[in-house]
Amino acid sequence: MPQAHEISPGLVIQGFTPPLRLTDFKLIAFDMDSTLINIECVDEIADAAGRKVEVAAITEAAMRGEISDYKESLRQRVALLKGVSVASMEQVYAQRLQLNPGAATLVAACKAAGMRVLLVSGGFTFFTDRIRDLLHIDATRSNLLEAVDGVLTGRMLDQPWGDICDGDEKRKMLLETCNQMGIGAHQAIAMGDGANDLPMMGAAGLSVAYHAKPAVRAQAMVAINSGGLDRLLELLH
């Protein structure tokens, strides 16, 4: 692993020399929970069921990479959401979810540079669809919660691409999109905070950790440890 170097407070690089040009890249893929937004949505939904502590403990272990089977950990957490109303999810979105600092600025800068923007999340379509529309993101992939009569069943539904968006699926979508665009993975940026982001970060030409878990910071080419997402623009001109 190359030597890490803090080029300004809270901004660490390893494995390359800045500045790069934003126009060197054609694609950027973002994680959602705790990256583009300030919360872990599954934990906040669980709060409505009185199970936040239990669910958040599983989420934290999964993000640290202490749980090897992400899909099973997500199924366990979603099962604990059974009985939560869709109205409670609306409250999470309206009252608890906020974009992280610099999110809108960075996405807008990427789009202005002609980049395609992806949102790939181990979270849920209920939230990714809204963030997609809010930030004018090009495409998303995330998990679909099953609801019957306005109440969660504790299960997720399969989608045309598969069952659960885990780390491997995030990497797959990044590479599929590169292929569709006729670009190499070296022209892609991947940005996340948890262990399930490492597969796509490892495939991308530039990997960025945002206020991330230690294992993710250690492997990323850029680690933003303080300040907003738009600090990436300090390196990409």
Whole-Å CA distances, 134 to 104, 130, 144, 174: 9, 6, 19, 21
Q: How far apart are CA 203 and CA 184, in angstroms?
A: 10
Contact 76, 203 (CB under 8 A): no
Query: Dihedral of CA 113/118/119/120: which sign?
Result: negative
Q: How far apart are CA 133 and CA 131, in angstroms?
A: 5
Q: How many structural domains does the chain have?
A: 1
Which CATH number is 182's domain given? 3.40.50.1000
Question: Tens digit of pLDDT per residue, the chain (237 long)?
Answer: 568 899 999 999 998 888 889 999 999 999 999 999 999 999 999 999 999 999 999 999 999 999 989 999 999 999 999 999 999 999 999 999 999 999 999 999 999 999 999 999 999 999 999 999 999 999 999 999 999 999 999 999 999 999 999 999 999 999 999 999 999 999 999 999 999 999 999 999 999 999 999 999 999 999 999 999 999 999 998
Question: How is residue 196 written in tokens?
Answer: 């399930």
Catalytic residues: 31, 33
Q: How far apart are CA 226 and CA 10, in angstroms?
A: 5
pLDDT given at position 129: 98
pLDDT given at position 15: 87
Query: Dihedral of CA 219/222/225/229: which sign?
Result: negative
Domain boundaries, position 64: 5-234
Q: How far apart are CA 196 and CA 125, in angstroms?
A: 17
Contact 62, 73 (CB under 8 A): yes
Contact 52, 39 (CB under 8 A): no
pLDDT given at position 1: 56
Written as one letter, the residue type at 128 is T
Q: How far apart are CA 34 and CA 183, in angstroms?
A: 28
Q: How far apart are CA 196 and CA 168, in angstroms?
A: 8
Nearest to 72 by CA among 58, 84, 85: 58
pLDDT given at position 201: 98
pLDDT given at position 3: 82
pLDDT given at position 18: 80
